[in-house]
Amino acid sequence: MSKPSRILPLQVLDTLNPFKVKKQRIMNYNPATGPSTRKPAEHIRISIFDYDAPQCQEVTTDNVEVIFKHINNKRTVWVNIDGINPTAVHEICMRLGVHYLLEDDIMSVGQRAKMDEIGDHLFCLLPMIYFNKESSTIEQEQISIVLGKHFVISFQEDPIRDVFDPVRERLRIERSRIRNAGADYLCYSLLDTIVDSYFNIMEKLGEKIELMEDLVQHQPGPRTQARINFLRRELLLFKRAIVPVRELINGFLKSESDLLEERTTKYFKDIYDHIIQATDLSENYRDVVNNLQDQYNTQINLKMNEIMKVLAVVTTLMAPLTFVAGIYGMNFDNMPEIHTQNGYFITLAVMFVMLVGMIYLFKRRNWF
């Protein structure tokens, strides 16, 4: 089973990782006409929901042939395929008449979120994003959705981290809204669930930002600086992943395909509003993190000023004492006080009085 890809732009090893994540960061880029770089899944899992208003049949299998036994009926069918295998993808696309360009998009990796309308199918591709609690990093996998007449097929890479459970629960409820609607409403429900999951990621990032605010105030240092840079990069890459989703949803709003009922358009408008809100929120979070960087610099400067202030006070206090000690440390035979019996103790007393006097003066002026 292929692993979710990191949405990080450079092929470098992160040597200064405050969360001790030891993994290589790879740019997600795949030429539109180039060969797929995806590692084929050894095993696939196919879950099928064949339903209408009064009844719902749920099937789990690894046999592609089972799909076609359900799609040919008059009921709505959702086929979710976990694991991208070239042979299985090609057979499904060939049997259902899905254009080969869409097949290439399903097999590709690192694609920008998009929506296409080719032939009798609507196709969309977008990131499904997760928050790795162990490493405090953002991870993603690419999910592809094909909408046809009376069916929806979704392709995803990892079956373990799936956000579609709310859709499955609603499908199991008899005569629920999703059971009474068609395939276009099912497609909307899948997209809406994915977009709503973005807000869960934003919530986790918000918690990290709150933690960083406390660290900047109480523990400014190189490690805190590394955490700020790490968080800023995660927010940048998260925004880069979700911004194209707005164009994807807008494609559904502008589409005149017969696969989309007019009454479903308002639901896609709701997703469009949500993705705009998520984009604005990610931009606000980036501004907050940039402000944290400014606060960190301010704290470091204040700390440095305090250190310089202490050093300046110590230097000022010691300067007169050093001056007196330097005068009486000169090697001249003819010095008036050189043979004074109590000269040593008198000099120490004068130096002590000077030190106490200067400390009193500095305190009066609130210099420290």
Q: What are the tens digits of pLDDT across the range 141-195?
A: 899 999 998 899 999 987 777 889 999 999 999 888 999 888 999 999 999 999 9
Percent of the chain at pLDDT exceeding 90: 25
> What's the pLDDT at 359?
82
> What's the pLDDT at 272?
93
d(CA 1, CA 64): 17
Question: Average pLDDT in the 316-322 region?
Answer: 83
Which amino acid type is present at position 163? V
> What's the pLDDT at 169?
92
Q: Name the CATH architecture for the domain at 308-364.
A: Up-down Bundle (1.20)
pLDDT bracket for residue 124 (50, 70, 90)? very high
What does pLDDT average to over the chain? Answer: 81
Contact 109, 28 (CB under 8 A): yes
Count the helix, strand and coil residues of the chain and give each as a percent rounded to the nearest 5: 55, 15, 30
Q: Do 5-299 and 308-364 fold alike per CATH?
A: no
d(CA 104, CA 124): 13
d(CA 204, CA 141): 18
Structure tokens that stand for 223 in this block: 């490690």
Question: Average pLDDT in the 81-89 region?
Answer: 89
Question: Is the pLDDT at 3 greater than 70, yes or no?
Answer: no
Question: Average pLDDT in the 305-310 region?
Answer: 79
Could you read off the pLDDT of 39-54 as tens digits, one per residue? Answer: 777 788 999 999 988 8
- What does each C-alpha distance from 254 to 97, 260, 265, 272 come to in angstroms? 24, 11, 9, 12
**Where exactly are the structural domains of the chain?**
5-299, 308-364
d(CA 153, CA 155): 7
The domain covering 5-299 belongs, at the CATH homologous superfamily level, to CorA soluble domain-like (3.30.460.20)
Beta strands 121-132; 137-148: pairing state: antiparallel
Residue, of 270 and 364, whose pLDDT is higher? 270
> What's the pLDDT at 18?
47
Global confidence as pTM: 0.74
> What's the pLDDT at 368?
67
Residue, of 316 and 48, whose pLDDT is higher? 48
Top-ranked range on mean pLDDT: pick from 241-250, 336-345, 355-364: 241-250
Residue, of 100 and 331, whose pLDDT is higher? 100
Question: Which of 2, 1, 4 has its CA nearest to residue 163?
Answer: 4
pLDDT bracket for residue 291 (50, 70, 90)? confident
Could you read off the pLDDT of 343-352 as tens digits, one per residue? Answer: 778 888 888 8
